[in-house]
Chains A and B, each alone.
Chain A
Amino acid sequence: MNKIVAFLLLCICMALTATAQENTGSIKGVVLNADGKPAPAASVLLAAKQITVTTDEHGIFRIANLQPGSYELVITLIGHEPVTHTVKVNAGKTTQPAVSLKAANKQLTNVTVTGRSDLRAVKQQAYTVTAIDATRLHNTPKDINQVLNHTTGIKIREEGGLGSNYSFSLNGFTGKQVRFFLDGMPMDNFGSALSLNNLPINMAERIEVYKGVVPISLGTDALGGAVNVITNQKIKQYLDASYSIGSFNTHRASLNSRYTFNNGFTVNVNGFYNYSDNDYKINVQIPDAQTGIYGEPVKIKRFHDAYRSHMGQVEAGFVNRQFADKLLFGLIVAENRKEVQTGMNMDLVAGHVFNSSESLIPTFKYKKENLFIKGLTVLANANMSFVKTGITDTSSRKYDWHGNYIVKTFGSNSGEISYYKTEFRFNDRNALANANLSYEINKQHSFSLNHNYSYARRKGEDPIAVDPIPFSEPNTLSKHVTGLAYRYATLNNRFSATVFTKLFSMRASTVEAEWGTHESMSSSYNKSGYGVAATWFIFPFAQVKASYESTWRLPEGEEMFGNGLLLQNNPYLKPEHSHNVNVGLSLAKTFGKHKFEGEVNYLYRKSGDFIRLESDGQTSRYSNLDSVRTSGIEWGVRYTYNDALTLEVNSTYQNTLNIKTYEQGLPNYIYWDRLPNMPYLFGSFDAAYRFKKAFYDHDALTIGIGGNFTEKFYLFWPSQGSTESKFIIPQQFTQDATVTWSLQNGRYNIAVQCANIGNVKVYDNFRLQKPGRAFNVKLRYFLHN
């Protein structure tokens, strides 16, 4: 079924590509920098059509579907004088101009406004933001999570192989405290079929990670950060198809394509398919069924851990028309299924449990610059999502690690993992609308206003439940987040600052169906946050940033109302609050062929009323429990030589302390202790060498190695218990290597990757062993013009 869908999508794209060759011509040019070398990331403006494209790593740019005639191109690049170049386009032909740039005399003045790439533009904001260039990684078989795990401040902890549960933490914030976006649309309600652990890297053009302060344009109530995955926005026509096969019967395919007609009609077709058996070997001690005594450690294959996910997206609309710069309607369909092999640790083995999720998401995007008046930009997007999430645990079998089982006669109402057998389904219906209005009075002053409305409705059903089930009556939650910001920049853009305020309001309601009683409940909150972010270029190559925010995260419906069963309600639940401070310095300097980049960032967070689960006899409830203070430092350096050698190292140290003086009405003896079960020191490195023209004129061979390091950390409070008896999550140090060979200037690519070269036992979570050494081969076809 999935293969057929993928094939059909491919056919559509091919057909669209074929119809393109008509009465138009195109430009394929190269931009050379002051040294006469190809200049990547130069901006090329086609003045007549107000189209801007960016040169690729070879300094090449392409503009297609041009009516024959003369066109004026304005080429800008950081550190260079802008150049205007006229080209003639003939029908059915490609004009191939070469444009040489001259170094700018006044390097200082326009450094931040002229000719910066989007990536650099993101980095140069006053917010503390990491922008990851995903295009560099498109040939590698990595997923977005693996890429993010090489970023300062971020730690992703996975329970196992492909598709397994993971927890994302950013500067000490976890769970719902950090928000995720796909092209600015919140992913909270997309379902697990569309999440960072299955989105292929090829879908992303870049990934922006906001730490601490989150810009108002991402209208949401994050407590301390946001991740925004930006898909390919620039290229007008392309087809990017890849397939990778690897250890543990892992298959991953992805297709991303776009076709834009002359009249601005655009079609995007994207999709992916992931599958893995995840049958990697782990070390376990199997207890004797009679005596309970543990046997010697044995290596054994996981047998019920397969994962499958697929997604298809079609988007169509107009770009660069008078009524809209962008007007797109789309539909995303996604589905996944994950078998569950173990409970909270590897002692509990399951053979039939699985989780599943299906999502159907219609989307709408609109953008128009200079609407009615110059400088006024409107950006709007909206989506609905229909998500069905299920847990299926209906077997009475009790498995061991060899795959043998007995049928339980004792506690047979229990599932393999769940206390009660379940076929529980959440039916979620969500709606989201976001509008962003920005007005640039002039280069110095601009205002923006953002409003975000979201509505979520959750209903639960369980056909085999014998008693009341969670959310048998719908639970609804609506939220409004409004942001207003003013930005000031000096004329030369060396200094810029943004002040902003956000208003959060929510209303939630549910009916509690507890053992026959029906009680309707509702709750609402209004909170306001504010902040400021400023940046100053001390020198053209040195940028200082500082930002502060006071922010809130509003409780979710489930947290406030419980599920009517063992999760009790807490109508007194308050929003979580945090003060976030960031101070950072980033540097970028080129000495001939040597390019150095570096950044160091100090962070401080003081957060209270963290919403956490609290247990009470047989039941539990969400309460405002923890108060923590995080301080930390993160740094990274990157060195590039001659566009061939790249070396990158970064690390993060973050110290999260418990600042609660009283706990359960008693003096708190773990006051000022470091929060347990949270990595506090980690880092990564990457090194790559690229041989241009390795065998042919048009090929390139890249050899890369990378590594990830996490210092060991305690499972429980560090100060408690004798050192020798304490449970730890051991130190991790893994390396991977990738060889990539690109042919025909990047049209055909093949990459071979070896992950966890040392085949070391690694754990992100206590006693949940991750895969050992694994091989992957990725084939990619990339066609663009």
Chain B
Amino acid sequence: MFSQNSKYTRSFLFLLTAALVLSGCYKEKKKFLQEGGNYVLALRTQGSGNSTTDYLLTANSISTGYQTISSTGNGIEQLAWCYFGTTGNTVMSFSYGTNNVGIGYSLAEGGRLYEKGRISFERMDCFGKGDDSTLIAIGAPWGGGSYDCQIQLIDTRNIRIKKKKLTPLYMRDPSDVLNKWPTSIVVNDNKMYVSFYPLDGVSWSTDLTDTAYVAIYSYPGLDSIAIIKDTRTGPIGYYGNQVNMIKTENGDIYTFSPSSLSSGYTQATKKSGILRINSGQTAFDPSWFFDVETASNGAKLLSATYAGSGLLVARMQKAGTDTAVGWGTFDVENPICQVAIIDLNNKTVKIVTDIPDHGGQYGSQGLLEDGKVYVSVTSTIAGESRIYAVDPLTATASKAAKIEGLEVPAIYKLTN
């Protein structure tokens, strides 16, 4: 009896030990703490099952290729897929979809982010800077039905919505059934310029692609001033909070029309190009137009960061790749994008050949610092995600910080 018992105890213990040894292979991944700093980056990590997660983190430098931007043990976790916006010394994340929360952050001593406050919102799809303490967010009419957009002014000092206005961006006539999706917001001379593109609320099909539109409101009053149109190119911007309008040093606004089937347009009837609204004006400049598509032998202008002196660091869709209707420029695995320098004064396009062909992304906001523009590039051809420092004067680029993740949808520099 007893000997049987000890035998059984032995085999039991043996089995238990074996099992524990086999299970013991898991060690928690090593975490390292990134040094804080004044650069604030939104990092979208890869997730298995396409479940990306967004982290907001800080770094004290991003300019060299030895550096790594990693959220392993770092960064403030965001609850859902986010849009990001900034003004003054505040960065905001807007969790999208399942959980509509906007959270404001600023930098504390030592280059760490702290939460200033949070708000609940109904819809926010397009963001722009109002002034140093105001972020503009426009909620678009998803799914059709009503055609109103909701313009919201967010007080970024106290993190609250201070003004809301429900208004259709544009109704051609009472029979107009197309929604107007806002794509970019620029404020200049007490006026708010909102670019948009018409689309069917349910099917997302774009039946009006031969006109560029901008709605103009007073700012901060938000009273409608005018709708301006131009038929030299198609609608301005596309889905996904891209930078599709920029303001130059003198207040001129340049607008980007992609005419790209890979960016959600179901047809393209005009060439991709750039229009200008002269500072303070409520009309497109009829004397200025740049047909980027022709100048680049067929490439499409998706979004751009203004580098000063009339130079744009632009993300272009390569010539010959715009073959299928869909969302190809949102797929990082689809390397159909290039970075180019567009000279607005001389109307030239130069491809930056130092940057590998790469996939498009949501809200690609670059950072201008010391004459260089830092952009996030995710290239399956290069087999990595990386920030590149682009020199707009020479149309060259050098490798900056490596991204351990999918992409960096926003790069900001804050002061505390």
Contact = CB atoms under 8 A, between A and B. Distances in A.
A600 B166 contact: no
Contacts of B333: 664-665
B50 A410 contact: no
Contacts of A625: 48-50
B119 interface: yes
Interface in B314-336: 326-327, 330-333
A667 B239 CA distance: 28
A409 B74 contact: no
Contacts of A723: 31, 73
Interface string B15-46: 11011101101101101000000000000011
Contacts of B164: 290
A612 interface: yes
Given A585-B12, A670-B45, A722-B74, A612 B50 contact: yes
A284 to B, nearest CB: 11
Nearest to B147: A410
B49 A727 contact: no
A602 B19 contact: yes
B126 interface: no
Contact of B142 (A347, A409, A411, A672): A411
Interface in A652-679: 653, 655, 657-658, 660, 663-670, 672-675
A539 B7 contact: yes
Contact of A412 (B25, B50, B98, B145): B145
B122 interface: yes
B146 A674 contact: no
B384 interface: yes
Contact of A411 (B145, B204, B332): B145
A716 B98 contact: no
A287 B11 contact: no
Interface in B246-263: none
Contact of A291 (B162, B326, B380): B162
Contacts of A657: 26
A413 interface: yes
A484 interface: no
A316 B126 CA distance: 64
A142 B31 CA distance: 44
B144 A717 contact: no
Given A616-B327, A658-B48, A717-B45, A293 B139 contact: no
A668 B383 contact: no
B8 A538 contact: yes
Interface residues of A, number: 77
Contacts of A669: 45-46, 70, 72, 404-405
Nearest to A658: B48
A411 B141 CA distance: 5
A653 B23 contact: yes
B23 A345 contact: no
A583 B15 contact: yes
B12 A718 contact: no
Given A602-B18, A665-B380, A716 B49 contact: no
Given A345-B98, A604-B22, A666 B380 contact: yes
Contact of A602 (B8, B23, B49, B161): B23
A655 B26 contact: yes
B166 A409 contact: yes
B97 to A, nearest CB: 8
Interface stretch (A30-38, A120-128, A626-634, A737-745): A626-634
A467 interface: yes
Contacts of B22: 602, 604, 631
A292 interface: yes
Contact of B19 (A414, A633, A719, A725): A633
A669 B98 CA distance: 26
Name the residue among A292, A408, A612, A725 with the largest chain B CB count within 10 angstroms.
A292
A542 interface: yes
A419 interface: yes
Contact of B120 (A287, A408, A717): A287
Interface string A38-82: 000000000000000000000000000000000000000000000
Interface in A457-516: 466-467, 515
Nearest to B22: A631
A50 to B, nearest CB: 38
B48 A725 contact: no
A412 to B, nearest CB: 4
Interface of B: 4, 7-8, 11-12, 15-16, 18-20, 22-23, 25-26, 28-29, 31, 45-51, 53, 55, 70-77, 79, 98-102, 117-123, 139, 141-146, 148-150, 159-162, 164, 166, 201-205, 239, 264, 326-327, 330-333, 378, 380, 383-385, 404-406
Closest 10 CB pairs of A and B: A617-B327, A413-B145, A292-B119, A665-B380, A287-B120, A719-B29, A602-B19, A344-B98, A612-B49, A721-B77
10 contacts: A347-B120, A409-B166, A411-B146, A414-B143, A542-B11, A587-B8, A612-B49, A625-B48, A670-B45, A720-B71
Given A411-B146, A612-B49, A716-B47, 12 more contacts: A292-B161, A294-B119, A344-B98, A538-B7, A538-B11, A600-B15, A612-B50, A666-B378, A666-B385, A670-B48, A721-B77, A723-B73
Interface of A: 287, 290-294, 343-345, 347-348, 408-414, 419-420, 466-467, 515, 538-539, 541-542, 544, 583, 585, 587, 600, 602, 604, 610, 612-619, 623, 625-626, 631-633, 653, 655, 657-658, 660, 663-670, 672-675, 716-723, 725-727
